[in-house]
């Protein structure tokens, strides 16, 4: 289990990366350039006022670290990166790095982004845009809304 200092140190290992990137179809991996892909971007269905989990995978096949500093959506005023660090313990991180040649999988791991209170319902089958902010720029990717089997 990684502690806060270890995760902070990992975050500091980040170098400059990519800038403005083109869009992609919602049902295909987003090619961010420099051999970085954003895959399986989903959000959990939820009602207005509730929170939704946003999950995705970053595949960094480049020779440079990729450092995510946040996401923005039109469906909630804020988001936060959550880490499940124990049976009933969670913590919030400001950012997270993906070392060169590695994958950060927020689709099945103990990490996910969580919205604040939704400004509208999110229904299974719809899509919305998410802006991924990273060191050196930002880009927008489509997010698919799905029912969550666990209700989260």
pLDDT in tens, 30-70: 455 568 889 999 999 999 999 999 999 999 998 889 899 99
Instruction: Give the tens place of pLDDT for each residue, 109-128.
Output: 789 999 999 999 999 999 99
Q: Where are the beta strands (DSSP E) in the chain?
A: 30-33, 36-44, 53-60, 66-72, 79-84, 90-93, 96-98, 103-105, 111-115, 127-134, 137-146
Which of 8-12, 15-19, 69-73, 129-133 has the least mean pLDDT? 15-19
Q: What is the pLDDT at residue 32?
A: 54
Q: What is the pLDDT at residue 82?
A: 94
Q: What is the pLDDT at residue 52?
A: 97
pTM: 0.75
pLDDT at 139 over 50: yes
- Paired tokens of 151: 């209700």
Q: What is the pLDDT at residue 149?
A: 61
Give me the chain's average pLDDT, please. Answer: 80
């Amino acid at each position: 289990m990684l502690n806060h200092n270890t995760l902070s140190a990992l975050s500091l290992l980040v170098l400059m990366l990519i800038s403005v990137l083109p869009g992609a179809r919602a049902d295909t991996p987003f090619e961010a350039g420099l051999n970085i892909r954003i895959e399986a971007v989903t959000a959990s269905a939820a009602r207005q006022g509730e929170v939704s989990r946003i999950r995705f995978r970053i595949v960094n096949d480049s020779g440079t670290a990729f450092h995510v500093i946040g996401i923005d959506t039109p469906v909630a005023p804020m988001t936060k990166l959550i880490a499940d660090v124990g049976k009933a313990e969670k913590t919030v991180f400001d950012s997270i790095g993906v070392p060169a040649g590695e994958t950060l999988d927020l689709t099945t791991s103990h990490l996910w982004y969580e919205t604040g209170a939704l400004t509208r319902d999110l229904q299974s089958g719809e899509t919305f845009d998410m802006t991924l902010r990273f060191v050196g720029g930002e880009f927008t990717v489509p997010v698919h809304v799905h029912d969550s089997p666990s209700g989260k």
